[in-house]
A and B are shown apart, each in its own frame.
Chain A
Amino acid sequence: MKNITTLFTAICITLISFAQDDVYPTQPYNGKLYITNGTVHVGNGQVIENATIEVNNGKIIQVGQNIAIDQNHSKLIDAKGKQVYPGLILAETNLGLQEIANGVRGSNDYQELGDLNPNIRSIVAYNTDSKIIGTLRANGILLASVTPQGGSISGSSSVVQTDAWNWEDAAYKVDGAIHLNMPSFINIPNRFAMYFGLPQDPSDPVKQALEKVDQLKSFFRQANAYLEEPTHQQTNLKFEAVRGLFDKKQKLFVHANQVKQMLVAIDFVKEFGFDVVIVGGSESFLIADLLKQNHIAVILEQMHELPATVDDDFDQPYKTPSQLQKAGVLFAINDSHEESRFRNLMFEAGTAAAYGLTKEEALEAITLNAAKVLGIDDRTGSIEVGKDANIIISEGDILDMRSSIISNAIIQGREVSLQNKQTQLYERYMHKYGLK
């Protein structure tokens, strides 16, 4: 019998190793959970040594030292010598919408046809079985804001948690932001034209951009008027889709890198009173004080980037966060790297720490600040009483490659699997070569 059990176990393990589809989402856990003896990085700048976190029914109910542990019906994770952090939040991503980037059109669900698509909702296409999700979870990224792309208004993004059976299961905050792509105010030269000595596009980019901005404003003005009517003869789905912006239940995420694009975004705040967040923000360091004055938050889309101009300091993208921090701008750091597929979020923050942020500020930029920007800071983003128990435990400093090794990840109180396609292929081939 024992032999049979062993054999059965072996078969199970083999199966698990062979098929990543057997990485299961964890069943809900409503009991108590304690994380003890760890160094807790709260996410708001505070660090508590040798702390205990008490979780009940998925919520954090106590954090601190000298917390008594209820031995009945509870789980306990000893984090001695380890670092405890809030779950990391990816503030802008096409996760679950784009599985295989290049050459496989069928795997792409991130960009719809048309220019004004406020009614497009990313959440309905979010694929919880994407193989990429598991690699993020294994690195401590527990929440992600899944965002559609393309057009002038791409649609609405939703925040998902990364351990789910289906998109309804995954939904953490639905349709929290509408995404607007600001037109470019500079002409990007056409390389083909250059190569073949053909004349470049003579059009005036500023004029074209302003015309586009005018169209966008006109859309929102008409939407506003429409929404003030109590009833409509004909329903306009696009107008209906932006109601939350006027009610302040949604934010307007403006994708903009150039100063002029961001100035137009500020103008949007003034005219419509929207909650505006800049996504991109390469040049945000140039207008940090204006952003602060207008209460505009920034998602720095990609830290590991070349300087925008030839003459910029070589480390400009790396030090932009510290410049925003100094000016008091609320900002989140993001990872939109299409080849490593967003799993280096903590290292993007680590680079910011190397170039001027404190480690806790860098952490905040990928936890609490991201939660604030996404409007979910009442529920997550820090290890504070009353919030969801979205917590990760790392062997060491999570911002540094050598020690950023996640041992546990907890989403809403349940400990989730750190296995994924990559860990399983690793095991499979270590097995092939008889390696340990």
Chain B
Amino acid sequence: MRNLLSAASRKWASLVLLFLITHPTFAQPSFPINGVADPRTGTYAFTHATIVKDGQATLSDATLLISEGKIIAVDNHTTIPKGAVVVDCSGKYIYPSFIDIYSDYGIPIPERQRGGFDYRAPAQFNSNTKGAYGWNQAIKPETNGSKIFSVDDSKAKPLRDIGFGSVLTHQKDGIARGTGVFVSLADDKENLVVIKEKASAHYSFSKGTSTQSYPSSLMGVIALLRQTYLDAQWYKSKPNKEGVNISLQSWLENQNLPQIFEANDKWNDLRADRIGKEFGVQYIIKAGGNEYQRIEDIAATKDAYILSLNYPLAMDLEDPNDARFVSLAVMKHWELAPTNPASFEKAGIPFCLTTADLKDPKQFIPNLRKAFDYGLSEARAFDALTKTPATLLGVYDKVGSLDPGKLANFLITNGPIFNEKTVILQNWVQGKKYGVNEEEWNNIKGTYSLTLNTTSGPTTYTLNVKSANSASLISKDTLTSKFNYDGKMVKMSFSPTTVKKSIPHDSTAHAPSEKRKPGSDTKTGPYILLSGVANGSTWSGTGEDTLGNPLTWVANFVKAAAPAIDSEKKKMVLTLGKVLYPFSGYGWEELPKQETILIKNATVWTNEQEGRLANTDVLVKNGKIAQIGKNLSEPSAKTIDGTGKSLTAGIIDEHSHIAAASINEGGQSVTSEVRIADNLNPEDPNIYRQLAGGVTSSHILHGSANTIGGQTQLIKLRWGQDDEGIKFKNWDPFIKFALGENVKRTTSQNNNRFPDTRMGVDQVLVDAFTRAKDYENEWAKAEANNKKKGAKRMVVRRDLELDALVEILNKKRFITCHSYVQSEITDLIRVADRFGFKVNTFTHILEGYKVADKMKEHGSSASTFSDWWAYKMEVQDAIAYNATIMQKVGLNVCINSDDAEQARRLNQEAAKSVKYGGMSEEDAWKMVTLNPAKALHVSDRVGSIKVGKDADLVLWSDNPLSIYAKPLVTMVDGTIYFDTQKDLDHRKYISEERNRLVQKMLSEKKSGGPTRPASPSFQILLGCGDHERHNGLITLELNDDNLIEK
């Protein structure tokens, strides 16, 4: 375009240029000067360079003109004004410098509490922050990066050295972290370095240094963020009762800025995105590096991402016993992590790159090159480091390309920026030069004639310079020499004689200028020491000869070294494993599909009036049970022989804690605002293991850390689907309540959280529902008022906690309540009576047999353990006959697991009621299928074998209540997620793939690659808070409420 400009307009352009340069702003800065003023324009012209203006335009033999820290011109024909320092950049490349959008450069890291975290410490209910801020210590939108930023050249230099010129920096602490400040990496006053004072607003799922109890879980964090969005809206109405709330005020102010969310994991990315979508915010998401495992889900968010290049190192797996503990998923992630940026590019997802998470910024460029090897294009990487972050932050008018008017932030390199051999020579920030590898500016490689002028006359040697740090000296022989060139100064030392004898170990006779390892070389002698200045092709200086006599020396350039022939870079052949769904050894390359299936000649446990049907066929079509009968045929169907086997409805576990990232929000006694659905983990290996135990649906409950816990989620075990895909669609929402020892924190030595007794539990319930009623009335009043013309608008604060309780009052949400002893069971029934709702299900309910009549009258279901007891005080009277008695009294009774292992054997748990109390086999079986379906209001779709119901079926090798029975096939919605053949295939795959990757890590180690010690992969098992198991080797069974201050 520029080339097409007419001569006239060029002239005009030059005039403008001159004007710009000669008429800088004359305003004096406010800072007083101690000494004499030294104003400079800093006008430079970089000529004859290859200038890459941005990802699109590259100019060759062009000039970059800068002044006053800004770019004045970039083109092929600029008239270089007088007063400009000309820098000849022949053979050099100039690029806009990089931008790091996710930094905490120059921002203090807040101090954590000393002495570590003590979960037994008393709870902290309010924020410790002093001032008129909000109630939660982790919500601090008022933090203003520009107010706490200070220039720190020790941190800036390493970033400049790898090409960065500006960063967005913020305090990485808390859930709402306040605003980020966009700064250059210049070593100057903060006032001049800050480019944009408030450039972004930051969020995360981590409460950081907050010592406040709430939130104690991921779902609590999500609820807190959602509530804060609502509170901020409400705060706009200036509610009297709230007074001044600087946090909410700042939150509102920050909304106009780019919103950056640190999610750090593929599922968390989606969780963050959902919060954003709910409140109309498009986040820029800081990714975790595992997004390639669900790249389609990530692409669907339409968010922009920030990627770090922090790949895991290979582990040292030489010891097979160590290797055994490293999961295939961890090994596969090691192999595939460098594909992450490329998979973003391929999926067309906008992204930036950051140095965040790297232990040392020096890893950045090598890791970026690795990303190229794994498919990332250089052009896309360049954009990700320049234009994309600048555009996202709204600072593309200042940085991100080389255009007039922008900051003079640029790099001078000796070759194309991403080439392996290219080095950055200089990094200019705001018009100021920072040397990086200046010694490489001139190509000094070549032959020089070195003359030493000593008292005994001149001696000439040939100096062969190989690099800035290496040269050899030749007289008759090649002499041992040390050489160093830093771009200006030259230092050299060598021994002119060749002495072939070993050095005595403690020889100090000759006091050589350097410490030598004894016996490390054989050619040595006294040293000649030289030091001087390099001036173009002539170097000269002074020195001492071997006897310490002074000398002078001159070296003249003779000829350049032949350019090293770049050995053609071997095109890396990548042999990479495939991504599995879920990302686990038991995952699928291709998700199993719904099939038409005909099970022939099985004993069918219908759970309906027909009872057990011998030698019967069942046809499954479109995910539903299509036909039940004898001699069915369907040519298109996959036929499974059921002879001698039992076909049943899939097991439904009424009380489970699998498949979630957190289970307990124990920060408060009432947390009805939290939702298990917000933090589902569809990759929990226990999903697969339970399919292998015949489970098809699980009710994922909040734990028992508090009286009113969180909203639950019913899932189907669709192994391989994402967190949305495993949800049981269109079900009545439930919520978890809990009573007794856990909610009163019995195991804590110093509980300060109300309640501490069952008397208090009663009042927590009464108070919560009283508040909910009042809240409902307030809304009704406001709505009626706001319909009236001319009435002053009433604004009621929307409260997510009370919303859920109002749903209970209105029979739109249903309770499953953890309960043990008869007093508390009766009390909850009476509280429910008083407020006009029903307790849908009592879970655990180990003393249910004592008040079964009251539960029957109230209309509750019971979901209990078969034979657990005596693991704490409140279960001393638990009996294995509980289910039988409750069933005989007429309750709808379920047997549940509350335990990832026991869930694999719920058929056996049900069978125990045959032993204890003589329940019939069919009734016992219903306790793990039809009865939980009824308790969960989904018996119209699952729980029995009936035409039209979901094809959630299990084919058993034996009577399903027998201890010898094993599931052979488990299907959900007519899709087979487990069968014995598929399981064998998984085992074979795991064994082969593990072996391949162990070998690959070993060869990485042998070839000298960096490794880390083998670190065992562990499984986290979340529990209700009732029990802990410890026999597994590396299983972490932890109750989330251990994580809160009790």
Contact = CB atoms under 8 A, between A and B. Distances in A.
A4 interface: no
B889 A433 contact: yes
Given A104-B873, A341-B869, A429-B849, A309 B961 contact: no
A197 interface: yes
B853 interface: yes
B843 to A, nearest CB: 15
A294 interface: no
A301 B899 CA distance: 18
A103 B741 contact: yes
Given A401-B961, A402-B915, A402-B961, A101 B1032 contact: no
B872 A340 contact: no
A189 B1036 contact: yes
Q: Which 10 A-B pairs have the closest CB atoms?
A: A308-B1033, A401-B911, A350-B963, A102-B872, A426-B881, A339-B868, A422-B879, A302-B1031, A103-B746, A101-B871
B785 interface: no
A344 interface: yes
Contacts of A185: 321
B328 A259 contact: no
A128 interface: no
Interface residues of A, number: 71
Contacts of B1034: 186, 188, 308-309
B321 A433 contact: no
A435 interface: yes
- Most chain A CB inside 10 Å of its own CB: which residue of B876, B1038, B1042: B876
Nearest to B692: A314
B653 to A, nearest CB: 15
A103 B902 CA distance: 23
Contact of B325 (A131, A186, A280, A339): A186
A22 B994 CA distance: 60
A33 to B, nearest CB: 26
Interface of A: 99-104, 131-132, 135, 185-189, 191-192, 195-198, 204, 257-260, 280, 282-283, 286, 301-302, 304-311, 313-315, 336-341, 343-344, 347, 350-351, 353-354, 399-405, 421-423, 425-426, 429-430, 433, 435
B584 A426 contact: no
A422 B880 contact: yes
A420 to B, nearest CB: 10
B877 A425 contact: yes
Interface of B: 112, 116-117, 119, 206, 208, 321-322, 324-325, 327-329, 584-585, 685-686, 688-689, 692, 741, 746-747, 849-850, 852-853, 865-873, 876-877, 879-881, 885, 888-889, 899-902, 904-905, 908, 911-912, 914-917, 921, 961-966, 983, 987, 990, 994, 1013, 1015-1021, 1026-1029, 1031-1036, 1038, 1042-1043
B1033 A257 contact: yes
A258 B691 CA distance: 27
A430 B931 CA distance: 22
B962 A188 contact: no
Nearest to B965: A354
A310 B876 contact: no
A399 B963 contact: yes
28 contacts: A102-B747, A186-B1034, A188-B1034, A192-B1043, A198-B117, A282-B1033, A301-B1031, A302-B1029, A305-B1029, A306-B901, A306-B1035, A308-B1033, A309-B324, A309-B327, A310-B327, A339-B871, A340-B866, A340-B867, A343-B867, A347-B908, A353-B963, A422-B869, A425-B879, A426-B885, A429-B850, A433-B889, A435-B885, A435-B889
B908 A433 contact: no
A132 B870 contact: yes
Contacts of B119: 192
A311 B327 contact: yes
Contact of A341 (B208, B871, B888): B871
Contacts of B866: 340
Given A354-B966, A426-B881, 9 more contacts: A101-B870, A102-B741, A189-B1016, A304-B902, A310-B585, A313-B987, A314-B904, A339-B869, A354-B963
A74 B816 CA distance: 56
A128 B1018 CA distance: 39
Contacts of B585: 310-311
A383 to B, nearest CB: 23
Chain B binding site: helix, strand, loop or mixed by DSSP? loop
Nearest to A103: B746
A195 B917 contact: no
Contacts of B1035: 306, 308
B686 A306 contact: yes
B868 A340 contact: yes
- Most chain B CB inside 10 Å of its own CB: which residue of A99, A401, A403: A401
Contact of A400 (B852, B873, B905, B962): B962
Contacts of B692: 314-315
B1018 A189 contact: yes
Contacts of B869: 339-341, 422
A337 B850 CA distance: 25
Contacts of A258: 321, 1033
B905 A304 contact: yes
A48 B685 CA distance: 45
A56 to B, nearest CB: 33
A282 B1043 contact: no
Contacts of B688: 314
A435 B901 CA distance: 34
Contacts of B885: 426, 429-430, 433, 435
Contact of B328 (A187, A311, A403, A422): A311
Given A310-B329, A402-B915, A426-B879, A191 B1043 contact: yes
Contacts of A101: 870-872
A336 B685 contact: no
A198 B116 CA distance: 9
Contacts of A131: 870, 876
Nearest to A400: B963
Contacts of B966: 354
Contacts of A353: 963-964
Contact of B915 (A99, A104, A404): A404
A350 B905 CA distance: 12
A425 B962 CA distance: 27
Given A192-B1043, A306-B1032, A402-B962, A338 B1019 contact: no
A259 to B, nearest CB: 5
Contacts of B853: 433
A197 B689 CA distance: 30
A67 B962 CA distance: 35
A347 B962 CA distance: 11
Contacts of A340: 866-869
A309 B911 contact: no
B963 A401 contact: yes
A135 B912 CA distance: 14
Nearest to B874: A103
Contacts of B879: 421-422, 425-426
A188 B902 CA distance: 23
A349 to B, nearest CB: 9
A100 B872 contact: yes
B901 A305 contact: yes
A350 to B, nearest CB: 4
Given A131-B876, A186-B325, A433-B885, A402 B867 contact: no
A353 B904 CA distance: 17
A187 B1016 contact: yes
- Most chain B CB inside 10 Å of its own CB: which residue of A197, A305, A337, A339: A339
Contacts of A191: 1020, 1036, 1038, 1042-1043
B915 A314 contact: no
- Most chain A CB inside 10 Å of its own CB: which residue of B584, B900, B1019, B1031: B1031
Contacts of A347: 908, 963
Nearest to A340: B867
B722 to A, nearest CB: 19
B870 A341 contact: yes
Contacts of A104: 872-873
